[in-house]
Homo-oligomer: A and B are copies of this chain.
């Protein structure tokens, strides 16, 4: 539907549908300056070009990969400056990758402890619980 290039300016609802980004979120991105202000119709409705929708999709994709809006802003600035060298982008990506790996390590440490705690629990209908004890004692044990 509306695959013909003639459809130059799309309303926000269509932008949302095409990118999967919530309408309120699109307006939020505009407010904080991650998305440039789009053109407006006479009535004041936002009118998006296909390029702007591509940009929105870029943001979405980057968010899905865990980039912060600040990082995305920097990536887009690199793209816009034209002088986005591959090396710079690579640097940002590997930094972010290190971040993600750090988070994974943290979560895996949590996972281990939670698993062990749960394993020691009788699941019984009794008031004594080794999980609660563990939660209390770890603070003490230090």
With A58-B136, A124-B86, A135-B61 as contacts: A101 and B111 at CB distance below 8 Å: yes
A118 touches B132 (CB 8 A): no
- When chains A and B are docked, how far (Å) is the Cα of A90 from the Cα of B120? 10
- When chains A and B are docked, how far (Å) is the Cα of A114 from the Cα of B90? 10
Is A33 part of the contact surface with B, judged by Cβ < 8 Å? no
Q: Please, which residues of chain B bring their CB within 8 A of the CB of A86?
A: 121-131
| Shortest distance between the CB of A125 and any CB in chain B (Å) | 5
Which A22-40 residues have C-beta < 8 A from chain B? Answer: none
A111 touches B100 (CB 8 A): yes
- When chains A and B are docked, how far (Å) is the Cα of A79 from the Cα of B118? 17
